[in-house]
Each structure stands twice: as C-alpha cells, then as structure tokens.
C-alpha cells in the first residue's frame, strides 16, 4: 500500500512537472515566432538596402530613402552603409558618415559568415555617442565577381526585444525569459532587463548541457547562472536558415511549479498516514490477541467520529457505505438515512456535468478535487461544501473511495458579506461626493449675498466710517472671499475622479505641463523651470493639468527667501508606471508634516503669510489615486522639497 501511495505521489509529481514543461515550451516557441519574424523583416530591409547601395544614387537621396524605410520598422534606431574598408558612406545619422567601423565585430564577422547565414547579429554594445545599449545587425555586400564590397547594417533597440520577452513572461515569482546569442551573451530578459543585458551565462550548467546535446529544444533542472535559483528551464535554439543563431530560455522556479503538488501531497499523506496508523494498530493487535481487537477498533472509530471534517466511504459508483458524524451534521441526516444512498441523489442537477468530470478524474488518476459544489440537506436546503477524495482498495480487493467534505458555507457567507460591504462603501462614497458637490454649489449663494451687501454698505456709508470700521469691513470681505475660495476648492475636490473616462483617456504630459505653466505665467515669471521630455500616460488632461498646476504653484509659493526659485520636473519608467518628480529648492517641509499636508484644509502657514486654502495637495492625492497611482513627498533638511507621484502608462 505504501509503495502504491509512493508511486501515486511520483506520478502526480511527474505530471505536474510535465505540464509546466509543456507550458514553458509554448512560451519559448512563442518568443521564437516573434523574434524570427522581426529578424526576417530586418533581413529583408538590409537586402533591399544592399540592392540600393549597389546603384549609383545621390547620397542625400539614399539617406532619405534609408530613413523613410527604417521608420516602418520600430526596432531600428539607425541604418548605415559601409565600404570594404569599413568607412561609413551613408547613414540615417549624417554625423556618423566618415567614421570607421573596420575593427568592429559586426563588420569583420559579417564578411566571414557561412553561406547559410547571411545576417550577423552582435552582442549588446554600449554606444558612447548616444549613451544607449543596442544590437547591430549587418549583411555583407559582394560584387558580381564575388569581391567583398562592405556591409549594410542597422542598430536595433534592445527595448523592443525586452518588451517581447515581457509579453511572454511566465506566471510566478522569479520566472524569467531570456534571449541569448549562441555564445551566451544576454540580449533581452524579463524581468529586470537592465540588471542582466550584456552578461554572459555560457558558464551555466543548463546552457552548457543544452549546447552539448546539440538539440533544438532541451529541458533542464538546474541552478540558474543569473539569479542562483533552482528552476525548470526550457532551452530552445533558433536555427532558421539565413538568420543568426539564438538561444531562448523560459524558466520557472521549481518551488512555484511544485507548490500545488506539495499541498495535495500533504493532504493525501495525512489521509494515508491516518489509515496507515489504523492498519498498523489493527495488525499489531491481531498479532497479539483477538481479545484486544475490539478495543483497537474502538479507538479508530473514535478518531473517525471526532474528526471535524466530513468523511464518507463509498463504492466506486458513489453509493455511500459509511459516514462520520461531521458528514451527517453537514447534511442534516443520520447514518442510516445516508447508507446505500447514491451521491447523485444528494446533488442538485446542475452539478451533473461537474460530477461526471470528477468521476472521470477518479478513474484516470485515482483521485478527484478539491472542488466546490452544493449538496442537499434533509430539509431541502442547500449547503456549500468543498470535496476531495482518493481511490482505495477495500478489504476484499474491491475499489472504494474515501471522500473528505468540508462545510464552506460560513466562508462563502463572509465573502458575500465583504462584497456587499464593498458595494455599500462604493455607494456611500458616491453619495458623499454628490453631497459635497451640491453643498459646495448652494453655499456660494449666501456668500455672494454677504459680499454684495458689504460692498453696498461701504458705498452707502462712504465718508462716514473711521479707519477702524473700514478695516472691519475689509476683514469681513476678505473672509467671505476666502470662504468662497474654499467652497470652490471643495467643489473641485468633489469632482476629481468623477469622469467615467478618466482612466481610459491618454494625455501627453509635455502638453499638460505646458498648459499648467501657461496658467501660472505671473507666479513663475522669475523662476527657473527645467522640464525633462515627459511620456504619455493614462488620465484625463484636465485632471492632470490641475495636478501639475497645484504642484508647480506650491513650489513657487514656498520658495526660499534667500535664493532664486528653481523647479525640476523629471520622470523614469517603473514597469507599467511612470514615476514623476517635481523638485524645488524652497523652504521644505518638516518630517512630522509630510503626511498631514495631503489632508483637506491642512495649512502649515497663516493665510496672511502665504495665500491658499489648504486643499491643493488633497486634490493632487485624490487625482493621482483615482488614476491608479500614488503620491508622496520627500524634503531633506534645508534643500527643498520633492513631490513624487506615479501614473499608469498606456498598454502599448
């Protein structure tokens, strides 16, 4: 019995690994298809360019033709034609013409390619002129008499191939996809390409084994050379005639692959262990004496009766032989009412298809589940349960089934209650937003009346009021004005995120920032503002304009009195998010106030010192969070303030 159980666990383990292997093989072939398509397009482009280069064409016309054609292939950064001495004759970048590439591998090795490989692809190369890491693809040119005439080539964006691997990245933490040269140099990886591009893994056990086997596809369990984790990896060699040989690796950690199998193995082991203990105890007692058999059977019965999970022993055609009290309590029936009853009689008709699949799984694998379903209680009500089981051999050699049934009604009820609470919270938030909008709109009317009558009173009593009375009237008007400003800000706050398309629209942050600066011409007149070339993000342009306007306005308001105001707006990519920074050299924010500043009507200075209602940063936070981002502040002592915020990038 132990051998059979061990064999069953081994078969389950083998099946789990086989499924993951097939999945990773599909990932590798998908990347092969996309990579081959890209390289074929580049090869056709270079062949066309070689044909044009062989004609007597004006250099400017040739450069324009190269530039126009290369723009149709997104992965191409620039194209060039070099003569037999390695001198660049024509390039889409005119500043490169006249430079020598004679000692570059992509020139020297292109001329030595075998007949079945007309295209050479380099390892990643860092280009000093552009500070970018690129790949070079080159094609040799020959005259009709076979004389070497030079090469045509392109530099390729590594980002294109990184995006290709990212799209096909397998599920699970620490999963990875790589594209390598045949020499083991990494040219693309997901995730974290920046940490691995250009590194060589030819010393890794998996890579060495794959290359030694000489197969197109091979499977390896090994400790990876890049992240030092034990993984299941599929190595797939790209060997398409006319294209450079590459190696594609798709891998998942074995811990991730085997986690479901281990969970099932624990359950099966516990059931098996319980049954094994019972068998050992009974065998031992039979060996000692027939008298103690009843006592031993009583102990086993006690465990069977006291276990909190429902247990049912059935025939292979699902007729109940025996149940424990927990099972009887779940169904509201006693053992006599359940005995010899078919499980199908206790199951609603809509689960017939699912039960048929469970029986098929039992016949093929010797186990089924876990799966969720409903069973009928004695009073006709339905109870939600989770069932799983395994096939065993009965005392006379007949196949029987142990089933474990767990009541999950409370778990499901809690989930439904949580969903209802979330819906209720959503409705409540919408009602509060509507209330804020209406209240803010209606409260402005009495303020306008107060301000109007104050002005009327001042004109009516003109010349009869002393200086103190005039100051009182000025205070009252100023208070009404600031109250009106606060109500307008509250109205704006309530509107943030109300638009249905706020997260489906896209906006160019360069245009957004220019629009915000145009509205702040006076405030930024004497400020130095440096803006990096910004990306396009998901979000409504009006909302994003208010965000940038508030942040730039704050930087101008809270400038340091002893130095000119400087503002820097920069960004960087973080996965599918754009991380922005708005940095100033102002008076800064003390650490204890860095969270408080995002609250409604939270001001750190009196209105007489710095104008404002204390709601601008609250609007910023609500804007960013409604778009799926986050906002926070850093303010090193004495060096100004940096507001960080993230916004989602478009899917493409």
Indicate the SS3 state at residue 370: strand
Helix (H, G, I), strand (E, B) or coil at 30: helix
Question: What is the pLDDT at residue 234?
Answer: 92
Which residue would you say has higher pLDDT here, 630 or 290?
A: 630
| Pure H helices in 289-351 | 293-306, 325-331, 335-338
pLDDT tens column, 95-108: 888 999 999 999 99
Q: Is the pLDDT of residue 435 over 80?
A: no
* Secondary structure letter of residue 542 according to DSSP: H
Rounded CA separation 189/248 (Å): 10
- pLDDT over threshold 90, residue 533: yes
Tokens of 596: 């408080």
Find which of 112-116, 142-146, 362-366, 595-599 is predicted with most confidence, using mean pLDDT.
Answer: 362-366
Q: CB under 8 Å to 242, separation ≥6 — which residues?
A: 43, 116, 117, 118, 119
For residue 487, name the pLDDT band (cuts at 50, 70, 90).
low
How far is residue 104's CA from residue 173's CA, in Å, rounded to a whole number? 39
**Quick check: 474 pLDDT over 80?**
no
Q: Above 60 in pLDDT, residue 199?
A: yes
Residue predicted with more confidence, 71 or 480: 71
- Give CA–CA dist 191/340, Å, rounded: 56
Note whether 372 and 362 are within 8 A (CB).
no
Q: How far is CA 414 from CA 170, 237, 331, in A?
A: 33, 51, 21
What b/e readout covers 366-401, taking b as 16+ CB neighbours within 10 angstroms? bbbbeeebbbbeeeeeebbbbbbbbbbeeeeeeebb
Pairing of strands 217-223, 577-584: unpaired
DSSP SS3 for 579 = strand
Choice between 582 and 317, residue whose per-residue pLDDT is larger = 582
- Cα distances from 381 to residues 329, 346, 347, 376, in angstroms, run 13, 11, 11, 6
Of the listed ranges 61-75, 101-115, 272-286, 366-380, the one predicted with least confidence: 272-286
For the chain, report the end-to-end CA distance as a whole number of angstroms: 56
Contact at 8 Å (CB) between 325 and 338? no
Using alpha carbons only, what angle is made at residue 130 by residues 128 and 131, rounded to the nearest 5 degrees? 60
User: Two tokens at 464?
Assistant: 């009869």
What is the pLDDT averaged over residues 371-381?
86
pLDDT, tens digit, 9 for 90 and up, residues 211-222? 999 899 999 988
Residues linked to residue 323 through DSSP beta bridges, in sequence order: 312
Examine the pLDDT at 500 and tell me if it is beyond 50.
Answer: no
More reliable by pLDDT, 311 or 568: 568
Q: Which of 181, 178, 207 is nearest to 192 (CA)?
A: 178
Range 622-627 average pLDDT: 89
Q: Coil, strand, or helix at residue 327?
A: helix
Record the tokens describing residue 20, joined without a space: 């993951």
Rounded CA separation 487/472 (Å): 23
* Polymer length of the chain: 652
Q: Would the CA dihedral through 457, 462, 467, 471 be positive or negative?
A: positive
pLDDT number for residue 508: 94
The pLDDT value recorded for residue 530 is: 94
Token pair for residue 392? Answer: 């065993």
The shares of helix, strand and coil residues in the chain, as percent rounded to the nearest 5, are 45, 25, 30
* Number of neighbours of residue 607 by Cβ within 10 angstroms: 13
Q: What is the pLDDT of residues 224-261, one digit of tens each?
A: 877 788 889 999 999 888 888 999 999 989 888 888 88
Q: With 90 as the cut, is the pLDDT of residue 57 above it?
A: no
Among 135-144, 171-180, 249-258, 432-441, the range scoring the smallest mean pLDDT is 432-441
Chain mean pLDDT for the chain: 83
Strand pairing report for 399-407 and 382-393: antiparallel
Q: Which of 136-150, 462-476, 509-523, 526-540 has the lowest mean pLDDT?
A: 462-476
For residue 170, name the pLDDT band (cuts at 50, 70, 90).
confident
Question: CB of 290 within 8 A of CB of 282?
Answer: no
484-487-492 Cα angle (round to 5): 125
Distance CA 616, CA 613 (A): 7
**Strands 399-407 and 217-223: what pairing?**
unpaired
71 pLDDT above the threshold of 60: yes
Lowest-pLDDT range of 68-72, 468-472, 600-604: 600-604
Asked if residues 246 and 180 have their Cβ atoms less than 8 Å apart, the reply is yes
User: How far apart (Å, rounded) are the C-alpha atoms in residues 228 and 457?
Assistant: 82
Q: What is the pLDDT of residue 507?
A: 92
CA–CA separation, 411 vs 538, rounded Å?
37
Ranking 50-59, 147-156, 560-569 by mean pLDDT, the lowest is 50-59
Res 187 pLDDT > 60: yes
Please state, in angstroms and as integers, the Cα–Cα distance from residue 302 to each residue in 183, 328, 338, following that order: 66, 15, 20
Q: What is the mean pLDDT of residues 315-328?
A: 85
pLDDT for 16-28, tens place per residue? Answer: 889 888 989 999 9
Q: Is the peptide bond before 191 cis (omega within 30 degrees of 0)?
A: yes
What one-character DSSP code corresponds to residue 120? E
The predicted pLDDT at position 605 comes to 47
Tell whether pTM > 0.75. Answer: no
Lowest average pLDDT, out of 268-272, 342-346, 521-525, 575-579, goes to: 268-272
Q: What percent of the chain has pLDDT over 70?
A: 87
Handedness of CA 188, 191, 197, 201 (dihedral sign): negative
Statement: residue 292 has pLDDT above 70: no
The mean pLDDT of 460-466, rounded to a whole number, is 76
Predicted pLDDT at 496 = 65
597 neighbors 589 (Cβ within 8 angstroms): yes
- Planar angle of CA 150, 133, 50, nearest 5 degrees: 20
Region of 628 on the Ramachandran plot (φ > 0 left; ψ -120 to 50 alpha; else beta)? left
pLDDT of 296 higher than 90: no
Helix (H, G, I), strand (E, B) or coil at 605: coil
Tokens of 249: 């690796």
Would the pLDDT of 537 be above 90?
yes
Residue 630 has pLDDT above 90, yes or no: yes
Question: How does pLDDT run across 404-419, given as a tens digit for each residue?
Answer: 888 887 877 787 888 8
504-542 in b/e form (b: 16+ CB < 10 A) is ebebebeebbebbbeebeebbeebebebeebbbbbbbee
DSSP states along 429-482 = HHHHHHHHHHHHHHHHHHHHHHHHHHHHHHHHTTTTS-HHHHHHHHHHHHHHHH
Which 3 state secondary structure label does DSSP give 223? strand
* pLDDT of residue 613 exceeding 70: no
Of 93-97, 496-500, 577-581, which has the strongest mean pLDDT?
A: 577-581
Sheet holding 399-407, edge to edge: 320-323, 310-315, 399-407, 382-393, 367-376
């Amino acid at each position: 019995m132990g051998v059979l159980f061990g064999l069953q666990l081994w078969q389950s383990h083998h099946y789990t690994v086989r499924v993951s292997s097939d999945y990773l093989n599909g990932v590798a072939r998908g990347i092969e298809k996309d990579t081959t398509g890209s390289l074929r397009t580049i090869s056709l482009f270079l062949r066309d360019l070689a044909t044009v280069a062989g004609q007597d064409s004006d250099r400017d016309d040739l450069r324009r033709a190269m530039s126009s054609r290369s723009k149709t292939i997104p992965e191409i950064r620039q194209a060039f034609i070099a003569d037999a001495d390695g001198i660049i004759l024509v390039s889409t970048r005119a500043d490169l013409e006249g430079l020598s590439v004679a000692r570059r591998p992509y020139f020297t090795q292109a001329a030595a390619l075998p007949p079945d490989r007309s295209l050479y692809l380099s390892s990643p190369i860092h280009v000093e002129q552009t500070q970018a890491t690129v790949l070079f693809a080159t094609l040799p040119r020959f005259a009709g008499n076979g004389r070497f005439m030079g090469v045509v080539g392109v530099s390729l964006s590594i980002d294109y191939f990184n995006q290709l691997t990212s799209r096909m990245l397998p599920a699970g933490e620490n999963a990875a996809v790589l594209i390598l040269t045949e020499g083991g140099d990494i040219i693309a990886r997901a995730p974290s390409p920046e940490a691995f591009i250009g590194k060589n893994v030819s010393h890794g056990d998996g890579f060495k084994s794959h290359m030694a086997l000489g197969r197109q596809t091979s499977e390896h369990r090994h400790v990876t050379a890049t992240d030092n984790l034990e993984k299941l990896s599929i190595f797939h060699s790209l060997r398409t005639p006319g294209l450079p040989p590459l190696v594609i690796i798709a891998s998942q950690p074995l811990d991730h692959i085997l986690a479901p199998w281990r969970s099932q193995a624990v359950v099966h082991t516990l059931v098996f262990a319980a049954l094994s203990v019972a068998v050992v105890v009974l065998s031992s007692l039979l060996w000692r004496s027939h008298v103690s058999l009843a006592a031993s059977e009583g102990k086993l019965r006690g465990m069977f009766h006291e276990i909190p999970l429902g247990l049912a022993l059935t025939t292979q055609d699902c007729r109940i032989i025996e149940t424990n009290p927990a099972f009887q309590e779940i169904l509201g029936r006693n053992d006599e009412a359940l005995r010899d009853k078919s499980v199908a009689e206790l199951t609603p008709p809509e689960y017939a298809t699912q039960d048929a699949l469970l029986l098929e799984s039992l016949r093929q694998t010797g186990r089924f589940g876990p799966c969720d379903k409903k069973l009928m209680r004695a009073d006709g009500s339905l109870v939600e349960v989770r069932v799983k089981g395994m096939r065993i051999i009965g005392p006379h050699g007949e196949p029987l089934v142990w089933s474990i049934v767990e009541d999950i009604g409370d778990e499901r009820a809690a989930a439904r209650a949580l969903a209802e609470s979330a819906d209720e919270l959503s409705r409540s938030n919408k009602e509060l937003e509507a209330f804020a909008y209406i209240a803010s709109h209606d409260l402005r009317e009495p303020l306008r009346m107060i301000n109007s009558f104050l002005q009327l009173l001042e004109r009516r009593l003109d010349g009869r009021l002393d200086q103190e009375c005039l100051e009182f009237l000025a205070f009252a008007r100023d208070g009404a004005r600031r109250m009106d400003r606060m109500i307008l800000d509250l109205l704006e706050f309530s509107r943030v995120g109300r638009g249905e398309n706020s997260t489906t629209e896209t906006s160019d942050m360069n245009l957004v920032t220019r629009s915000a600066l145009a509205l702040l011409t006076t405030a930024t007149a004497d400020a130095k503002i440096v803006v990096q070339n910004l990306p396009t993000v998901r979000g409504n342009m009006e909302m994003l304009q208010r965000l940038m306007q508030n942040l730039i306005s704050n930087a101008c308001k809270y400038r340091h009195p002893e130095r000119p105001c400087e503002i820097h707006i920069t960004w960087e990519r973080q996965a599918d998010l754009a991380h922005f920074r708005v940095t100033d050299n102002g008076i800064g924010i003390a650490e204890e106030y860095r969270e408080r500043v995002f609250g409604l009507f939270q001001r750190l200075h009196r209105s007489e010192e710095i104008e404002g209602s204390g709601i601008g940063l609250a609007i910023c936070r609500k804007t960013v969070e409604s778009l799926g981002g986050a906002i926070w502040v850093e303010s090193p002592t004495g060096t100004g303030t940096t507001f960080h915020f993230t916004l989602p990038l478009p899917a493409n």
